[in-house]
Amino acid sequence: KLSPFERSKYLYALARMIQKNSRFLSVLETIDNGKPIRETRDIDIPLVARHFYYHAGWSAKDTSSKNKPIGVVGQIIPWNFPLLMAAWKIAPALAAGCTVILKPAEQTPLSALRLTEIINDSGLLPKGVLNVITGLGEEAGAPIASHPDIDKVAFTGSTEVGKLITKASAGNLKKVTLELGGKSPAIVFPDADIDAAIQGVASGIFFNHGQTCCAGSRLFAHEKVYDKVTEGVAEIAKSIKVGPGMNDKDGSQMGPLVSNEQYEKVVGYMESGKQDGAECLVGGTHDNSNGGHFVHPTVFSKTNADMKFVQEEIFGPVLTTQKITDDDLNSIASEANNTEFGLAASVWSKDISTAHKMAAKIKAGTVWINCHNVFDSALPFGGYKQSGNGREMGFECMDNYLETKAVTVNL
């Protein structure tokens, strides 16, 4: 019932509070997730605050009387960016005037709990507007999806679970938006800035241990530059220092995977690739003997679309590579689109015409040109095909939390 201006004021104030607590939140995020403290401190937490600032602006600009809050929103978030995913969900819901029930991943609940405490202890929100429920998916997530008094579910996670949530939500036909898995291609043309492409492809797969839904996990490099690109990415992989996330002084650049379950999944995919005939250029090693679930950055060659680990989402620091032997853009697009996913892609070329033509042919919600993993609060993000529906970020995500009402008056 608050006015858009009032909602804008408290979102702005919440952003300031997040900034004031940024040091503690970044440490908590690293302890919970394992990612290097330099990433949580310099990337994750600043982006969290930015999303609240951004949506404070949209809330103040909502002058339309026909857009109404959808109501009670259930939000289920993953463990790869725990606090950032919470911000992606909470900020637009509050900006729209909805109430929230947030369910963080059971592996990483600490930062979401602390964020909720910070917000609720501020006294800015009426009691009961923002709530958090922790627990396993079956015990806490499934009831959110099926509950008749929840008007909308927003989920980020695996495609498999996304399908279950869609089925569970059918009881009251609640609205559902899904941001799901990916198997994103990185396409390098021979005229690309090869040094920049090498850096970008490496960052695209190794950032956040490869535990990123839009990770550039499939490299397609033209045969004229394939060897140089793959060798360059392999050299970067060798140089990445793997260690505990809190070891900032020792320069840890990649921490452990989030759990033993994820560790075994990634290791299993690497072994599957080897059995199918893929050649490991670098990495392929792993270690969980000291209590951490460490997988070293890995690059495979001699892979093809028939291999299981090329088709399925690994969600780890594992890159598969293939040569482009055909200059026809339709043929290249066919290879890039040969997956059930359609979340993101990157195209590397100095020819902006070629890049745009390629981007138009790729079935993905985001296509980066000469970059990868570039995000902004104003850019909508989401997928085609089995990568989900709806969009996060940008004004488009406000549609997730608003109902449109037409009122006709006969005077």
Q: Are 243 and 252 in contact (CB under 8 A)?
A: yes
Dihedral, 315, 317, 323, 328 alpha carbons, nearest 10? 50
- HSE toward the beta carbon, residue 37, CA cutoff 13 A: 15
Q: Which string of DSSP letters, residue by residue, matches 44-68?
A: IHHHHHHHHHHHHHHHHT---TTEE
* Main-chain phi, psi angles of 107, to 5 degrees: -75, -25
Q: Are 369 and 350 in contact (CB under 8 A)?
A: no
Sign of CA dihedral 332, 306, 300, 312: positive
Q: Are 198 and 236 in contact (CB under 8 A)?
A: yes
Closest CA to 117 of 99, 132, 102: 132
* Main-chain phi, psi angles of 305, to 5 degrees: -70, -10
Query: Which residues lie across from 220 on neighbouring strands?
Result: 187, 322
Q: Which string of DSSP letters, residue by residue, matches 87-142?
A: HHHHHHHHHHT-EEEEE--TT--HHHHHHHHHHHHTT-SPTTSEEE--S-IIIIIH
Q: Which helix (H) or strand (E) holds 179?
A: strand 175-179
Query: Which residues lie across from 286 on neighbouring strands?
Result: 295
DSSP one-letter code for 242: B
Concerning whether 179 is annotated as a catalytic residue, the answer is: yes
Long-range contacts from 327-331, C-beta under 8 angstroms, 24+ separation: 329/354, 329/357, 329/358, 329/361, 330/361
Helices 82-96, 45-60: inter-axial angle, 10-degree rounding: 10
* Main-chain phi, psi angles of 128, to 5 degrees: 90, -5
Concerning whether 213 is annotated as a catalytic residue, the answer is: yes
Task: Identify the active-site residue in 29, 39, 179, 313.
Answer: 179
Structure-token pair, residue 313: 């989402």
Task: Identify the active-site residue in 98, 213, 214, 397.
Answer: 213
Query: Which residues lie across from 279 on neighbouring strands?
Result: 301
Q: Which string of DSSP letters, residue by residue, matches 140-157?
A: IIHHHHH-TT--EEEEES
Residue positions annotated with a catalytic role? 179, 213
